[in-house]
Amino acid sequence: MGRIRVGVVGGVALLTLLAACSSSSSSSSSSAAPGGATTAAPSTGAIPAATADSAASALLPAAIKSKGSVTVALDATYAPDEMLDTDGKTVIGMDADLSTALGQVLGLKISLVDATFDTIIPGLLSGKFDIGNSSFTDTKAREQQVDFVTYFTAGEGYYVNANSTASFNGLDALCGHKVSVEKGTTEESDAQTQSKTCQSSGKPAVTVLSFQDQNAANLAVSSGRAELGFSDSQVAAYIVQQSNGQFKLTGDPFSTAPYGIAVPKNGMAPALLAAVKDLMSQGVYAKVLAKWGVSSGAISNPVINGATS
């Protein structure tokens, strides 16, 4: 990520650390997100099973195909993309549903594992995880370590406390302010880079408050420790929607970039690319995005390593 996350309310892991907030997943409202995304409350409807594709599975590396299963790592604090269900352990969300469907296409058993975001790429490199599907922004820097198959597009955006009189628009607006981000995200990197830009132009630095997960990042905003939160577009919209008036969006969309499913450089990317294309042609991809209210982030041309910066 791009990427942000948030605790458990009405079947959705969202804003658990905001004791003053409550929400309901039965709401029919939607929020316009920075980056052009619109996020509606998730439904509980089942996604139809995807049809297996022997041609796609034939592209799998021999070691993966013989094992017959893969471990998919997701940081389940980034609703609506990935979060924990009300049982506190089952990972649900857009990326969880897409991962399950990809397994159906490829004939693989999928094990979804909740992992802290900044541990996922190291876990792929060490062999602990086979796939990382956790709202990763596909960047050229990350492509030096892993391969990506693009499947979504998201912008970056800000949210503030609803009673805030401040407004923020674009990266330049961060100079001299305290911003809350999740550790290891594109937002963290962008805020840190912007701080140097601010100082080089004679403006105050950005105070970047980095947290291990999105729940803690949200708490920093609600408590006033940070002036604003910085996350991916559809996630910012979801945070605001589920906060029962605690937060509001501020500013316009910026820095739209592709999400990618991350895999080690072991030859698995072509099989995943074929499987993503299958999900699109079968209509399963569109139904998953619609279920989680993020259809505006849909793409039609997935590629391997499609970073734009």
Average pLDDT by stretches of 10, the chain with 309 residues:
37 32 29 43 70 98 97 94 95 97 98 96 98 96 98 94 96 98 94 98 98 94 97 88 93 90 98 98 96 92 96
Residue 24 located in a structural domain: no
For residue 22, give the nearest of 246, 288, 271, 302 by alpha carbon: 246
Using DSSP's 3-state secondary structure scheme, residue 306 falls into coil
Residue 23 located in a structural domain: no
pLDDT for residue 128: 98
Residue 285 located in a structural domain: yes
- Per the structure, the count of domains in the chain is 1
- Token pair for residue 150? 């693009």
Residue 65 phi/psi, 5° resolution?
A: -65, -40
Residue 70 contacts residue 108 (beta carbons within 8 Å): yes
Domain that holds residue 149: 1-16+29-41+51-309
Residue 21 located in a structural domain: no
Residue 22 located in a structural domain: no
- pTM, entire model: 0.77
Residue 198 phi/psi, 5° resolution?
A: -60, -50
pLDDT for residue 45: 60
Q: Residue 152 belongs to a domain with what CATH number?
A: 3.40.190.10
Q: Between the CA of residue 32 and those of 116, 227, 241, 246, what are the distances in Å?
A: 28, 21, 9, 16
Chain center to CA of 228: 19
For residue 181, give the nearest of 257, 85, 77 by alpha carbon: 77
Residue 34 contacts residue 157 (beta carbons within 8 Å): yes
Residue 238 located in a structural domain: yes
pLDDT for residue 293: 87
Distance (Å, rounded) from C-alpha 75 to C-alpha 129? 13
Residue 65 located in a structural domain: yes
Residue 107 located in a structural domain: yes
How many other C-beta atoms can be found within 10 angstroms of the C-beta atom of residue 273? Answer: 21
The H-assigned helical ranges of 69-170 are 94-106, 120-126, 140-143
Question: What is the chain's Cα-based Rg?
Answer: 18
